[in-house]
A and B are shown apart, each in its own frame.
Chain A
Amino acid sequence: MTIAPEHNPVFARLGWRDRLGQSAPYLLVPVLIAAGFAAIGAPSSWLTLTVSGLAMGMMIFIMASGLTLVFGLMDVINFGHGAFISLGAYMGVSVLFWLSGWTEAASLALNVGAIGLAILAAMLFAGAVSWAFERTIVRPVYGSHLKQILITVGALIVLEQLIHVIWGAEEIFLLRPESLRGAVTFFGAALEKYRILAVVIGLGIFIAMRLVLRHTKIGLIVRAGVQNGEMVEALGYRLRLVFVGVFIAGSALAGLGGVMWALYEQVITAGMGENMMILIFIVVIIGGLGSVEGAFIGALLVGLLQNYVAFLEPKLALVSNIALMTAILMWRPQGMMPVVKAK
């Protein structure tokens, strides 16, 4: 056999500009946190806002992560994703009400157990509904963005109305479990216990997702499918089955995010998921389609910026995320870390 003659390839060494360009998205979060410190001044306020922003960002990431993979894998635009947030929240809160004895007990174990069961129920419910949703709503409109938008918006409305039918049209208020009420003081800053828990759960889910995506065969198939689904099929994998699995898992995560958001806001409405979709789409777009890491960084930026701006200049809080999206898209028109580049 001919061995490559005189073909001794090496990679060119990257310059510092290229290296900085590659790692720039990862630097944005610490840069924003540092900028927040400089702008706010008071360390205790800054710490409180930072933890609050990180908690908010983690919850948005949990809700957005499935959507970015669904975009990437099958080029499906699902405006109905918000319904799974609401459905998860209602199912989770129903379980928490049912376990009120556990949530009102002054026992951390019982409180966390109640939240764990609520999360489990929310994920199972949202996942089960999403399975039917994919079969009946999404599958017939593969390949047509306009039809996808129209039918998933319609389905979102129908599911919201079904929530009204089942749980009623009124807002439902709830209290956090006993052990998660109040705050702990850290260097003079009041840090809400629940927000700390949200950061821990969000970080745990991000690490778990990275582990699955980076170190398992199914993760490899998903990552490859986001880049070139046709080739994944040509290797012998049934991409549609993978897509259904990702769709269900992503919707279950949206349900989980719904429960966490419900406990964060301490009120739920049928339209809560729909309201969250604006932030979720911002996160998916600025992160780059198909990128879980991009969605994670984008969600943290959105959460932190909203909290800092709301403290510094409340009137600008509403537009801060749109401004963030505009700035990032001017810098990187396909988002920070796009996996899907040319669909």
Chain B
Amino acid sequence: MSDALLSLENIRTDIAQYHILKGVSFSVPRGQVTMLLGRNGVGKTTSLRTIMGLWQAKEGTLTFDGADITGAPISARARAGIGFVPEDMGIFGDLSVEENMVLAATNGMPDPARLEWLFSAFPALRTFWKSQAGALSGGQKQMLSIARAMIEDRKLYLIDEPTKGLAPAIISTMVGALRTLKQQGATVLMVEQNFSVAKALGDQAVVMDDGVVVWTGAMAELAESSALQERLMGLSMEAH
């Protein structure tokens, strides 16, 4: 795809003796939100971690913004413009909320206007600005994790299950913030188990099963076809 910001070609990743990704190929178009979907254990998180360099691909090619980053170190991928929100949130619990944010601003101190925008999206961050991040609730930690990735403009945001285990009120806050990010033209690759959230945010969908991509297309197409959902992900309408 000519306007692809990120492309994976035949990516294979092993963890210990297990073959997790068995030849994953897909593209993430610029300025769109691509949802990475599939049942538990099919390789979605491993795909994100492989893109970020946290797991090394054994085979295949990763192209980001026109450059081959297959063997690049993690920090080089981040400096190239990839922001990462891991499944476990990756919060530095012994640092304050402020310190977590300052650390994420790799080009200097956080931009005040950007910070104000993040505070308006996640008011709890302002409330607990000086508090230890480890003492935050799960939802607040997730907000901090996402805000930290957004503290500077990134070319691509990799977000792994941002609504996992969160209360509905916090999910709506999260969705609101991600929708704003989307409206600003950000490119996002997101793993999400909550199909309603995926439907609300996604432009494209990539469905995985057993370490390979089994379907790619428009999110709207997947959202409209319960038969397709049932076939690809074992979802039924009752589930969402």
Contacts and interface: CB of A to CB of B under 8 A. Distances in A.
Given A221-B103, A235-B78, A3 B124 contact: no
A37 B70 CA distance: 64
Given A9-B124, A11-B135, A220-B102, A237 B95 contact: no
Interface in A1-21: 1-7, 9, 11
Given A1-B177, A221-B103, A233 B75 contact: yes
Interface residues of A, number: 27
A1 B169 contact: no
Contacts of B179: 1
A9 B25 CA distance: 42
B86 interface: yes
Contact of A231 (B86, B120, B123, B128): B86
A102 B138 CA distance: 62
Contact of A238 (B75, B120, B124): B75
B106 A227 contact: no
A72 to B, nearest CB: 11
A9 to B, nearest CB: 5
B124 A231 contact: no
Contacts of A231: 86, 90, 92
A3 B127 contact: no
A139 to B, nearest CB: 15
B120 A9 contact: no
A236 B76 CA distance: 6
Interface string B73-111: 111001100001010001011110001001110100000
A111 B28 CA distance: 68
A224 interface: yes
B54 A230 contact: yes
A233 B128 CA distance: 25
A200 to B, nearest CB: 29
Contacts of B170: 4, 7
Contacts of B128: 9, 11
B135 to A, nearest CB: 7
Nearest to B172: A2
A220 B175 CA distance: 30
A339 interface: yes
Interface in B176-202: 176-177, 179-180
For chain B, what secondary structure do more than half of its interface residues adopt (helix, strand, loop), or is it mixed? helix
A223 interface: yes
Given A3-B173, A9-B127, A9-B137, A230 B94 contact: no
Interface string B143-174: 00000100000000000000000000110110
B40 to A, nearest CB: 22
Contacts of B104: 235
A2 B176 contact: yes
B173 A4 contact: yes
A11 B131 contact: yes
A237 B175 contact: no
B197 to A, nearest CB: 13
Contacts of B103: 217, 220-221, 224, 232, 235
Nearest to B179: A1
Nearest to A2: B176
A7 to B, nearest CB: 5
Contacts of B84: 234
Contact of A223 (B95, B127, B176): B95
Contacts of B78: 233-236
B124 A4 contact: yes
A282 interface: no
Contacts of B92: 223-224, 227-228, 231
B33 interface: no
Interface string A208-235: 0000000001001101100110111111
A4 B169 contact: yes
A339 B94 contact: yes
Contact of A227 (B93, B121, B148, B173): B93
Determine which residue in A5, A224, A236 has the highest number of CB atoms from chain B within 10 A of its CB, and name it.
A236
Interface of B: 52, 54, 73-75, 78-79, 84, 86, 90, 92-95, 99, 102-104, 106, 120-124, 127-128, 131, 135, 137, 139-140, 148, 169-170, 172-173, 175-177, 179-180
Given A3-B176, A217-B103, A234-B90, 18 more contacts: A1-B176, A2-B173, A4-B172, A5-B172, A5-B173, A7-B124, A7-B170, A220-B95, A220-B102, A223-B99, A228-B90, A230-B54, A231-B86, A233-B78, A234-B84, A235-B78, A235-B103, A236-B79
8 contacts: A2-B172, A2-B173, A217-B103, A234-B52, A234-B75, A234-B86, A235-B78, A238-B75
List 9 A-B pairs, minimum CB-CB distance, nearest first: A2-B176, A236-B78, A231-B90, A233-B74, A4-B173, A236-B106, A236-B79, A224-B92, A234-B84
